[in-house]
Chain A
Amino acid sequence: MAEKTMIEALNLALHQEMEADDSVLVLGEDVGVDGGIFRLTEGLIETFGERRVIDTPLAESAIVGMAIGLAVYGLKPVAEMQFSGFSYLAFHQLESHAGRLRWRSQGRHAVPMVVRMPYGAGVRALEHHSESREAYFAHTPGLKMVIPSGPRNARALLLAAIRDPDPVIFFEPKALYRSHREQVPDEPETLPLGEARVVREGGDITLVAYGAMLSRTLEAADRLAEDGAEAEVIDLLTLSPLDDATIARSVRKCGRAVVVHEAPRSFGAGGEIVARLVENVFYHLEAPIRRVTGFDIHVPFFAREQAYLPDVPRIVRAARETLDARA
């Protein structure tokens, strides 16, 4: 066990899996000599060489398109998009090919690749560096969409994503890259994709969150507990496929729920989660489900980004309104 930041934990996952499996390759802009602009791939090129740690020309579509070819060839590419805000130049490769080749070839070709992308606001960055567009990828058949919330689960999920036989979009909450450290075991460990985790047990209200919003949601749960309301907090970890069974189980127990994400509200993950709860546990609901989300606007330049992001008071207020509501 060692205390690691999320950056260090993800770096460990890459080192160990590249060591264990020579079919794992890393490619992207500045991932080699520079060690990645966040230093996440630091040391890989020294250990594994430039054939396996590929500094590519600056072209997102080509990075993903090439990764598709590598994956079809039987390799396990881990491609990096420097920021998720630049991944739209590669989006058609993900939608038109990565998510479809297994199906189009009737199972003959698989695309076991990972596309890592830092996402989210809160680090005082430039335009295009702060968005949360996980819905695009979660909406796309054939892709999996994973978002860790801390160093230990980030490492375990990245390992699982690399070993997964299908293309995985791996969103890294960059606000958490160096925000805190966690004990991360030395030995490789994985977490299953498609499984959410109950991170705090409670019986009064379910709070669903993921990524960088998890810690704020847990803080809100502590605040609610001071007033005697015990919140159950669910960390989704995988958005697609969505573990609606775990969410439903909790809401059946609590009868009340709030969903938190920093992505824009309309057509976001929260809408899907609420819809599934209405379909599956409607008669257990004791109050309308609320969403605490980003707004349906572009993330403002960083002087105002904290006002854009859901914060603890907004989550607490929504939870209290939900707790106070009478059917």
Chain B
Amino acid sequence: MPRTTIKPKTRIDQLSILAADGTADQDLVPELDDEQLTALHRAMLRARRFDERLLNLQRQGKLGTFAPVKGQEAAQVGSAAALRQGDWVVPSYRETAVLLWRGTPMAEIFVFTAGYNEGGAIPEDRNDLPVAVPVGTQPLHAVGLGYGIDYRDDDAVVMTFFGDGATSQGDFHEAMNFASVFRTPVVFLCQNNQWAISVPRDRQTHSATLAQKALAYDMPGIQVDGNDVLGVYAATREAVERARRGDGPTLVECVTYRLEVHTTADDPTRYRDADEVEKWRERDPIARYRTFLEKRGLLDDDKVEALEDEIEAEIEAAWKEAQRQMEELTDPTVMFDHIYAEPPPHLEAQRQALTRALEAPGREDG
């Protein structure tokens, strides 16, 4: 009868291991050997340089619209590094660093960004889903995959990537709810990069954190410094392990920043100040991690220079390879491939009509 208070579990952890100046909380540094530690740096630098080349080629008119990853390398590499190759990645459209970590060849990403579907092919040795463009719709697929893993008693986990804007979508909440009700092995990896095109984070939601969205679903939520690759790795590894041992989903909010345009069709000077961007540049994920590795004696100027040369050569070779591949992609009728397992008669007829039209240009044909 009386009016009382229900106290829901309200705990949101916040984690930061590596500060912007490169100093680390040594008690929290995850147990990684030297090779693993330097691999994280290499992966972030590789993603940064590749992303810069994509932008450069786009500005030259050689590639189409794409969403640069610059600034979010730690959030992506740190989280992807917590996965096994047999796990599933369900990405959004800005996960270039994740794709590279998972083994997608640079040439494929070039081909994809140049407007060819072939570049989006998923290799047979990997389970990942292709890039999903409609914001916040793909976490539901992660829930289905997770249910399947559970149903088949497999030990894989699923990590789905999305941004701060996606947390306003109904599908995001439905996915969180379903994942929690069915305790599916899913890690919800939110890259809060502060801007959904022109709409800032504080206009996206009135919540103090995005991580606390987990509370409504009785799911662990953690906010981590998304520009701290060690923090992201530690937080996601914990979430991945929880999922793998059957203890259900986790929401990880990586607080990061999109240093570049939303996509190459966007002009951020219309909605945000250069001062703000500058402030976040000082919190660059790669610079601070380089300092950390230098202090550990794992990196120095010479090693970085050698790494830069190696990456540049790889990008150069990949672009050449992509151009070579694209020269062979001359048949537009492959657009009819993979619509169904078996092409139905009307699609075969349409393909043949297009083939005839292409063979005899100028001739009217149906």
Contact = CB atoms under 8 A, between A and B. Distances in A.
Interface of A: 25, 51-52, 54, 56-57, 59, 61-62, 64-75, 77, 92-93, 96-97, 101-110, 141-142, 144, 165-166, 194, 241-242, 244-245, 279
A67 B144 contact: yes
B339 A102 contact: yes
B144 A241 contact: no
Interface string B170-183: 11001101100110
A33 to B, nearest CB: 15
B48 to A, nearest CB: 27
Contacts of B144: 65-73, 77
Given A62-B140, A68-B140, A142-B339, A73 B145 contact: yes
B147 A61 contact: no
Contacts of A166: 340-341
Interface stretch (B122-130, B198-206, B252-260, B325-333): B122-130
A271 to B, nearest CB: 15
Contacts of B151: 25, 51-52, 75
B129 A62 contact: no
B62 to A, nearest CB: 22
A97 B137 contact: yes
Contacts of A65: 137, 140-141, 143-144, 171, 174-175
Contacts of A108: 121-124, 130
B351 to A, nearest CB: 13
B338 A97 contact: no
B63 interface: no
A142 B340 contact: yes
A154 B332 CA distance: 39
Most chain A beta carbons < 10 A, residue from B118, B148, B340: B340
B129 A102 contact: no
Interface of B: 117-118, 120-124, 129-134, 137-138, 140-149, 151-152, 170-171, 174-175, 177-178, 181-182, 337-341, 344-347, 366
Given A73-B148, A102-B339, A279-B366, 13 more contacts: A56-B181, A59-B178, A62-B177, A68-B144, A69-B141, A70-B145, A77-B144, A92-B134, A103-B338, A105-B121, A142-B339, A166-B340, A245-B345
Given A106-B117, A108-B121, A165-B341, A62 B171 contact: yes
A92 B141 CA distance: 13
Contacts of A66: 140-141, 143-144, 147, 178
Contact of B339 (A25, A59, A72, A103): A103
A109 B131 CA distance: 13
B145 to A, nearest CB: 4
B346 to A, nearest CB: 6
Contact of A62 (B118, B174, B345, B366): B174
Nearest to B126: A108
Nearest to B347: A241
Nearest to A51: B151
B15 to A, nearest CB: 29
Given A65-B144, A101-B129, A141 B339 contact: yes
Contacts of B174: 57, 59, 61-62, 65
Contacts of B148: 69-70, 73-75
Nearest to A69: B144
Contacts of B121: 105-108
A68 B118 contact: no
A51 B174 CA distance: 19
B118 A105 contact: no
A199 B22 CA distance: 77
A283 B117 CA distance: 41
A74 B188 CA distance: 22
Most chain B beta carbons < 10 A, residue from A74, A101, A103, A165: A103
B337 A69 contact: no
A105 B143 contact: no
A248 to B, nearest CB: 12
Given A96-B134, A106-B117, A61 B140 contact: yes
A145 to B, nearest CB: 12
A194 B344 CA distance: 8
A104 B142 contact: no
A71 B148 CA distance: 9
B366 to A, nearest CB: 8
A18 B205 CA distance: 44
Contacts of A71: 144
A64 B118 CA distance: 27
Nearest to B342: A165
18 contacts: A57-B174, A57-B181, A62-B140, A62-B171, A62-B174, A62-B177, A66-B141, A66-B178, A69-B144, A75-B151, A93-B171, A96-B137, A105-B121, A108-B121, A141-B339, A142-B340, A241-B346, A244-B346
